[in-house]
Amino acid sequence: MKFIDIATLDVQGGNGGKGCISFRREKFVPKGGPNGGNGGNGGNVKIRSDRNLNTLLDYRYKSHYTATRGEHGKGSNKHGKRGKDITLRVPVGTIIRDAETEQIITDLTEHGEHIIVAKGGRGGRGNAEFATPTNRAPRYAEPGGEGEARKIILELKLLADVGLVGMPNAGKSTLISKISAAKPKIADYPFTTLVPNLGIVKVRDSKTFTVADIPGLIEGAHEGKGLGIQFLRHIERTSVLAFLIEATDEKPRATFKTLIDELRNYNPAILDKSKLVVFTKKDVADEETIEKLNSFSISNDIPTLVISAVTGEGIREFIDCAWEKLMLERSEAE
Ligand SMILES: Nc1nc2c(ncn2[C@@H]2O[C@H](COP(=O)(O)OP(=O)(O)OP(=O)(O)O)[C@@H](O)[C@H]2O)c(=O)[nH]1
Ligand SMILES: [Mg+2]
């Protein structure tokens, strides 16, 4: 299944009901006063975050939502009922933007948060409300207000624990396919992965973490080169970043720097995350290279591993290392 993480919706609040023009008609009261009731307010369109959901898939099939209108006012001072609200449920982590201004309206980060995205129109006042000493029988009532109409964009950032970043062809998708049930497309050409993949990794017992494989990054990605950096939003909320670099890369340090620079250009805060460096495709590197990589070091707090998804070497260590970093991040977050 393709991971749908963006959806554009047209939302509209219900119109307000019309105010009523009506006069009392009673025996023995020849000129009854005005008794037209108010129209009900239109319903609102609301969005609520729900931890039981994890995609925006539903919104691909239905993208127009209009709340019901308020009932019109009636005679005998009866007010119209308000229109029903519509509540759209979205996964926790969904960002809502106004499609026109692209401004973020809100960021739903907790379960059960909700927001009105399109307000219903106000009910019009009935003629009873317009009676004054000089005009005791107004033949006027307000129409209902129009419901607010708006185009919004829902955007979901994957809530993965560990994000895999690397140049195209580094072996990101191969790794996720070895450590989880995710079955992404793997090929020996760059930009095989076009949409992010999410996998669940079993550590041991019932312990698991989630990992995100994103499309490859290249120098200039922040200017739109390659597939650009649009996918980096998926790793903004991961706790740990694994930098995958091919063991046969002749300039691993420069590659690491390029990746760091691209992330920094997107959002410098991403670099505060725990990091690990993972050299991939150990099986095709020569002894000398492997030896060099074994002593490769960026800094004390960035572990380095050399793995092969083909032979399975180092995979267990990768899982353990990522888990350890994750536990550290979690305990610091508490
Ligand atoms: N020999 C060897 N080949 C590998 C290993 N891991 C991945 N490959 C190969 O490297 C190529 C690229 O692998 P992918 O997993 O598609 O790379 P990616 O980083 O996801 O690439 P993009 O999606 O294009 O960014 C494929 O031909 C894989 O079979 C490995 O450990 N050893
Ligand atoms: Mg890939």
Domains and CATH numbers, the chain: 6-156 (2.70.210.12), 162-333 (3.40.50.300)
pLDDT at 80: 97
Q: Check pLDDT > 60 for residue 298.
A: yes
Write the residue with the smallest CA distance to atom 13 of ligand 1. 171
Higher pLDDT, 30 or 49: 49
Average pLDDT over residues 60-79: 95
Answer yes or no: is the C-beta of 310 below 6 A from any ligand 1 atom.
Answer: yes
Q: What is the pLDDT of residue 252?
A: 95
For residue 195 and ligand 1, the question of a CB distance below 6 A is answered with no
Task: Tell me what percent of the residues of the chain surpass a pLDDT of 70.
Answer: 96
The pLDDT value recorded for residue 29 is 66
**With 70 as the cut, is the pLDDT of residue 291 above it?**
yes
The predicted model gives 81-109 an average pLDDT of 92
Average pLDDT over residues 172-195: 86
Most trustworthy range by pLDDT among 34-43, 130-139, 149-158, 174-183: 34-43
Pocket lining: 194 vs ligand 1, CB cutoff 6 Å: no
Ligand 1 pocket residue status of 172, Cβ below 6 Å: yes
Q: Is the CB of 174 under 6 A from ligand 1?
A: yes
Q: What is the mean pLDDT of residues 10-27?
A: 93
Q: What is the rounded average pLDDT of the residues 204-229?
A: 82
Q: Can you give the pLDDT at residue 275? A: 96
Provide the pLDDT for residue 192: 82
Query: Is the pLDDT confidence value at 2 over 50?
Result: no
- Tell me the best of 164, 165, 173 to mutate to test the pocket of ligand 1, counting ligand atoms within 8 Å of each CB and taking the most: 173
Which 3-state string (H, E, C) describes the chain?
Answer: CCCCCEEEEEEECCCCCCCCCCECCECCECCCCECCCCCCCCCCEEEEEECCCCCCCHHHHCCEEECCCCCCCECCCECCCCCCCEEEEEECCEEEEECCCCCEEEEECCCCCEEEEECCCCCCCCHHHHCCCCCCCCCCCCCCCCCCEEEEEEEECCCCCEEEEECCCCCHHHHHHHHCCCCCCCCCCCCCCCCCEEEEEEEECCEEEEEEECCCCCCCHHHCCCCCCHHHHHHCCCCEEEEEEECCCCCHHHHHHHHHHHHHHHCHHHHHCEEEEEEECHHHCCHHHHHHHHCCCCCCCCCEEECCCCCCCCHHHHHHHHHHHHHHHHHHHC
- Ligand 1 pocket, residue 283 CB under 6 Å: yes
Mean pLDDT across the stretch 268-282? 94
What confidence score (pLDDT) does residue 190 get?
Answer: 83
Protein residue closest via CA to atom 11 of ligand 1: 188
Q: In this predicted model, what pLDDT tens digit does every residue of 106-138 receive, in sequence order?
A: 988 788 999 999 999 999 999 999 999 999 999
- The pTM for the full model equals 0.64
pLDDT digits (tens, 9 = 90+) for 232-259: 877 877 889 999 999 999 999 999 999 9
